[in-house]
Amino acid sequence: MKKGKVLLVGRPNVGKSTFLNNVLGQKVAITSPKAQTTRFPIRARFKDDRGEIIFIDTPGIFLKAEDNLSKKINRQTLKDINEETDVVIYMIDHTRKRNFEEARVLGLIRKIGKPKILIINKIDLTEKSFLPQYEFLKDEFKDVFPISALLNKHIKPLMDKIFEYLPENDLSEDIDKETNASDYPLLNLDSKTFIAELIREKVFLMMGEEIPYRSTVIVDEITERNDKLTYIKARILTTDDRYKKMIIGNQGRKIKELGSYARKEIALATNKKIYLDLQVETDPHWMETYF
């Protein structure tokens, strides 16, 4: 049996969370096409007959962290990168040009003295590719795996390689504490935080470019009303009244639609009937208060 920690690193939106969800076979991390979707590390456990892996899905690293939230995300990611791990996965998206943000991530990766695996994600997308800009990486990484995280393609040989690098019967106290915590793969989020993330994902997917980065979700209450119904009270916080109006929408249509999608996802994730009491509030200081 093998056990170890695997760090997922890359710039925003390369597909780390999609990869983790598909490897685990269930949703533990929210996803969207927009930057800043992942705001804190997700720790989740994969188990099979070969052993156990603690995956650490880090937020993408921003080159220009101009607001307080992005700065906090960068600091947390740098802290996670410096944590003791057994294997590092560096994921790139070949459909995006290589830039200074990518160069910064690579510079951080080079300083980690652990086995490193390069993943070239989104091979299912062929219309636009900047792969020649990344060819030099094949000289730096012994192990290179082109995959499609979305379609779950070529994941098995990658997992085989990860297990090759993991220590045999070298169990640290940290891993023992984490892996014994629960049979559920998600290790570091409580119920309120996980549900808040599912709601926030719908904000990212359904609203325009600016609003998601100006908003967060707080779950205030989860109550089992009876054997069949769970009551959830949650708030979407945003920084300005004009964003609040946009989230609510004309005659409340947008918030009803958003709440309906969120309720269905929560019900699917929890296998329970959900009553979601969802409100929108203006709080210009939520980044300092809640993050």
3-state secondary structure of 83: coil
186 lies in a domain? no
State the Cα–Cα distance between residues 148 and 158, nearest whole angstrom: 12
Residues 205 and 170 in one domain: no
Residues 22 and 151 in one domain: yes
Name the pTM for this structure: 0.85
- One digit per residue, the tens of pLDDT, for the chain of length 291 reads 899 999 999 988 899 999 999 999 989 998 988 877 878 888 999 999 999 999 998 877 655 555 666 666 666 666 667 677 899 999 999 999 999 889 988 988 898 889 999 999 999 998 899 999 999 999 999 999 999 999 999 999 999 999 999 998 655 555 555 555 456 688 888 999 999 999 999 999 999 877 878 899 999 999 998 878 999 999 999 999 999 999 999 999 999 999 999 999 999 988 889 999 999 999 999 888 876
184 lies in a domain? no
Residues 139 and 230 in one domain: no
185 lies in a domain? no
Q: Please spell the DSSP secondary structure of 174-191, one letter per residue.
A: HHHHHHTS-SSSB-S--H
Domain that holds residue 257: 191-290
Q: What six digits make up the tokens of 115?
A: 């086995």
Number of domains into which the chain is organized: 2
State the Cα–Cα distance between residues 37 and 20, nearest whole angstrom: 14
